């Protein structure tokens, strides 16, 4: 395919071309090219996509707000007086400063920019200008200045099972249609009652944002990279499970079912896979793995994603949402929010707190994910025109009753290429 140009971009979108039409080949320049990154911010995050902005539980009352990002655009999500949720650009119309710079809080009836004290209502409308009429009739704004013409950009919002999503496009379809019925079912499986936020943090990662999204969708790597998953039989490819991929490719849910491995129990050892450390490691405090059946289906691990950058996790009784925030071609932030349910018993609350040691930047399971994207970013530094091979399980994006597949990774690239025009 020819190198593409967009209006307003002086440099080419890529330093190379997309290889063959197969979804099983991805060129490494997509993680490196500055013009391609700028185009993603327009063609993905500002397009007809739903972007996670907060949990409804984050903003239960009038004036409660959370700040977040849609791509690189800072946004505010706030609960209005009528109970609705508004989302608008976190940018003062005057000189462009952040309107709100805390992660969240309550502002009562209005936001006020710290720079020059211009104020905004809970819908993002410009409502007040300090010294608008000047002093003693001198200075101030022109009499014909219209506040309504100068408000931050507003986003449409929608909610699903306690999640709040926002979009800049009038063409984005209803959220359940956008995600697909099978994946929505798996989302509602976990988010089946009111939640309670338990904690959150931000993890900077040294890699392009797409490498982390791929990693989340990569069901093949989990029990090969993560020694803890394999050793303590939380997720092994030899257990039951599979991957669901939405028809458009962009959304997925992978799952592991607790069941005996049978004749495949020694498969990791026979292949000398590094994550097979059976008998070599033990836990000083085994209570971290004390789990209970919570959803009635024996699924002990489920990872779900919504294009372009939302993740929902259930690993035993450890529940969290993750949000991917691009910070440049070779860096990103991963925003974690752990949660439980409002009706959790004290015992369940303690169980969730213990299991939160499993997953996170230093988690027994996921600490490897914090560095593997950086390994790829570094390893491909001189390979812009080379390609990755994503062919486990074939070259299509259909759901499969196995996790020894890269179907959901190919699904991401199917959606990505459609939005980007490749």
- pLDDT for res 263: 57
CATH 3.90.380.10 range(s) for the chain read 181-420
The strand pair at 85-89 and 119-121 is best described as: unpaired
- Residues 136-175: tens digit of each pLDDT: 989 999 999 998 899 999 999 999 999 999 999 999 999 9
- Which residues have C-beta within 8 Å of that of residue 98, sequence separation ≥ 6? 74, 90, 91, 92, 113
Q: Could you give the residue range(s) of every CATH 2.102.10.10 domain in the chain?
A: 51-159
Run of H or E including 372? helix 369-379
pLDDT digits (tens, 9 = 90+) for 68-101: 999 999 999 999 999 999 999 999 999 999 999 9
Which positions of the chain have pLDDT values less than 50?
Answer: 1-13
Is 3.40.50.1110 the CATH number for 181-420?
A: no
> What is the assigned CATH class of domain 51-159?
mainly beta
Q: How far is CA 212 from CA 55, 337, 345, in A?
A: 22, 17, 34
pLDDT of residue 315: 92
Model confidence, pTM: 0.91
- What are the angstrom distances between the C-alpha of 339 and each of 58, 196, 321? 11, 6, 8
């Amino acid at each position: 395919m020819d190198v593409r140009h967009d209006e307003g971009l002086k440099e080419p979108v890529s330093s190379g071309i997309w290889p063959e039409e197969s979804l099983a080949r991805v060129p490494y320049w997509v993680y490196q090219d500055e013009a391609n990154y700028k185009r993603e911010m327009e063609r993905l995050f500002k397009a007809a996509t739903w972007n996670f902005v907060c949990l409804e539980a984050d903003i239960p009352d009038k004036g409660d707000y959370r700040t977040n990002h849609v791509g690189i655009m800072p946004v505010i999500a706030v609960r209005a007086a009528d109970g609705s949720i508004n989302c608008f650009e976190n940018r003062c119309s005057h000189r462009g400063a952040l309107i709100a710079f805390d992660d969240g809080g309550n502002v009562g009836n209005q936001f006020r920019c710290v720079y020059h004290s211009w104020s905004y209502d809970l819908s993002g409308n410009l409502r007040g200008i300090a010294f608008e009429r000047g002093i003693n009739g001198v200075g101030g704004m022109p009499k014909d200045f219209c506040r309504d013409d100068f408000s931050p950009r507003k986003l449409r919002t929608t909610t699903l099972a306690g999640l709040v999503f926002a979009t800049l496009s009038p063409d984005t379809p209803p959220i359940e249609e956008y995600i697909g019925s099978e994946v929505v079912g798996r989302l509602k499986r976990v988010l089946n009652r009111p939640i309670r936020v338990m904690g959150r943090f931000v993890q900077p990662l040294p890699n392009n944002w797409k490498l982390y999204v791929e990693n989340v969708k990569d069901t093949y790597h989990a029990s090969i990279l993560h020694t803890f998953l394999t050793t303590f039989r939380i997720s092994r490819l030899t257990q039951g499970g599979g991957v669901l991929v939405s028809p458009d490719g962009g959304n997925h849910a992978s799952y592991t079912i607790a069941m005996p491995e049978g004749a495949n129990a020694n498969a990791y050892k026979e292949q000398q896979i590094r994550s097979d450390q059976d008998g070599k490691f033990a836990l000083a405090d085994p209570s971290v793995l004390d789990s209970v059946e919570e959803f009635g289906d024996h699924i002990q691990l489920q990872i779900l994603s919504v294009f372009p950058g939302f993740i929902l996790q259930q690993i035993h009784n450890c529940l969290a949402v993750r949000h991917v925030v691009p910070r440049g071609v070779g860096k990103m932030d991963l925003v974690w929010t752990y949660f439980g349910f409002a009706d959790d018993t004290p015992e369940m609350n303690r169980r969730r707190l213990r299991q939160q040691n499993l997953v996170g930047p230093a988690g027994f399971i996921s600490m490897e994910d914090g560095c593997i994207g950086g390994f790829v970013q570094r390893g491909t530094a001189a390979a812009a025109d080379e390609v990755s091979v994503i062919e486990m399980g074939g070259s299509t994006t259909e759901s499969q009753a196995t996790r020894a597949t890269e179907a959901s990774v190919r699904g991401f690239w199917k959606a990505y290429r459609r939005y980007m025009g490749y």
